[in-house]
Amino acid sequence: MQDIECLGVYTSGGDAPGMNACLRAVVRTAVANDIEVIGIRRGYEGMIEADFVEMERRSVSNILQSGGTILKSARSEAFRTEEGRRVAANNLRENGIDALVAIGGDGTFRGASKLCDEHGIGVVGCPGTIDNDLYGTDQTIGYDTALNTAIDNIDRIRDTADAHNRLFLVEVMGRDAGFIALNCGIGGGAELILIPETITEMDMVKERILSLMTAQRRSTIVVVAEGDELGGAHGIEQALRDDESFSDIELRSAILGHTQRGGAPTASDRVLASRLGVGAVESLLDGHADVMVGLANGELKLTPLRNVYGRRKSIDYDLLKLTQILS
């Protein structure tokens, strides 16, 4: 078993519901193994500024159900430099921190891997991002909550859209990945789903929408990932408004935005975050470093950080076919 006297833990990048549940699991697992815990506020920025706080069991009481992250999060340009990482590593050593648990996405893991390579500080990552786009895990912390938030909003939009026979373009998060759009589109009964992983032609979009609106003579929901090449919901809306064929169609856009990042985590995210947090500490104690702990087929799995940010996680293209059948 690896000898760890003091463990540092931090959240970095975009926040995700369930990060607090993961923090709670990390702290309590470490304490149960007689390891001191130091929380690093504001991610890598706080690491460079030595913004540290001692944590114990009571520090993480009553946070399991809370969204956001009690340690805050920030993006750090300074940490991208060798000097910034040197300062961060020195601060960690001066405070007696032997190892780290990093909770975040691919950017977080790139930084963690550099810290491990350049300064020999052992790091294990926990995947925390609503995008669910990390290789090495079936699901990331925050994804299930964001997905359910999006579906709940689509259900509400459907009610008002149906009352007026309107076309709604609903934009969800996913700059580079369409996991949220694809699954909330299916779960919300969207007639068309547009995601970054597929090539989208505006003529095809127009033809499909006109066909649906003509055949149904009722509301139509189009779910668009923010990273879609046509410019998201606003870009598509403008293109449709400029086309006389859509002059008689009532058209609205709804940008769900950061509502998907907030709110209490679902039961699924709480359990996942707890399992990963415990697994991260136990992996460090077993001598593992420069890896992410994920969940694959219901079992914990370790994946080298380089593979996590170096490979692209693929969507299930069979799900795309469902929209054509079900719409």
Residue type at 149?
T
Structure tokens at 303: 């994946």
pLDDT digits (tens, 9 = 90+) for 270-295: 999 999 999 999 999 999 999 999 99
Interatomic CA distance for residues 303 and 24, integer angstroms: 23
pLDDT of amino acid 216? 65
0.75 exceeded by pTM: yes
DSSP state of 141: B
What is the average pLDDT score of the chain?
92
Percentage of residues of the chain with pLDDT beyond 70: 98
CB 142 within 8 A of CB 130: yes
Tell me the torsion sign for CA atoms 32, 36, 40, 41.
Answer: positive
Q: Which band of pLDDT confidence, cut at 50, 70 and 90, is reported for residue 321?
A: confident
Please give the angle made by the CA atoms of 239, 244 and 246, to the nearest 5 degrees.
70
Q: Are 79 and 45 in contact (CB under 8 A)?
A: yes
232 pLDDT more than 90: no
**Residue 194: strand, helix, or coil:** strand
User: Which of the given ranges, 132-136, 205-209, 227-231, has the highest pLDDT on average?
Assistant: 132-136
What distance separates the 2 farthest-apart alpha carbons in the chain?
70
Mean pLDDT throughout 107-127?
Answer: 95
CATH fold match for the domains 6-142+265-310 and 145-261: yes
What's the pLDDT score for residue 233?
A: 84
Identify residue 87 by its one-letter amino acid code: V
By annotation, the residues acting in catalysis are 131
Q: What is the rounded average pLDDT of the residues 74-96?
A: 94
Q: What is the DSSP letter of 246?
A: G
CATH code at 6-142+265-310: 3.40.50.450
> What is the mean pLDDT of the segment spanning 159-178?
88
Report the CATH number of the 145-261 domain.
3.40.50.460
Q: Is the pLDDT of residue 252 over 70?
A: yes
Tokens of 244: 């006389």
Structural contact between residues 134 and 308, judged by C-beta atoms closer than 8 angstroms: yes
- Does residue 1 have a pLDDT over 70? no
Structure tokens at 27: 């702290």
Domain ranges of the chain: 6-142+265-310, 145-261
Strand 251-255: give its sheet, edge to edge. Answer: 192-194, 220-225, 167-172, 251-255
Q: Which of 272, 173, 257, 171 is nearest to 222 (CA)?
A: 171
Task: Among 153-157, 211-215, 227-231, 319-323, name the most confident range.
Answer: 153-157
Angle at 222 between CA 243 and CA 324, to 5 degrees: 105
CB proximity list for 229: less than 8 A, separation 6 or greater: 196, 199, 200
